[in-house]
Amino acid sequence: MEIKSNQNDGTKRENIKRGLHVNIVLKEDQRSGKLTEGFVKDILTNSSKHPHGIKVRLETGEVGRVKEIFS
């Protein structure tokens, strides 16, 4: 089991910033768990945290929940 440091936690909005390099899971990939890599353009979740990850739009226009944050 992988232990993630607090600042790499994609479930907390405070850790997500525009331009951040992340891996997200798209809605259609939730079952397979396939990740999509990109850079955050917009933060779509308004609440301070979400158990499945903060929803973002990448610069490519793809929308999904943050699963990993690259340091």
Task: State the pLDDT at residue 2.
Answer: 44
Q: Coil, strand or helix: which one is 28?
A: helix
Of 41, 47, 36, nearest in space to 13 by CA: 47
Of 41, 9, 38, nearest in space to 26 by CA: 38
User: How far is residue 54's CA from residue 11's CA, in Å, rounded to a whole number?
Assistant: 5
Task: State the pLDDT at residue 6.
Answer: 62
CATH architecture for segment(s) 6-69: Roll (2.30)
53 phi and psi, to 5 degrees? 110, 150
Tens digit of pLDDT for each residue in 7-62?
678 999 999 999 999 999 999 999 999 999 999 999 999 999 999 999 999 999 99
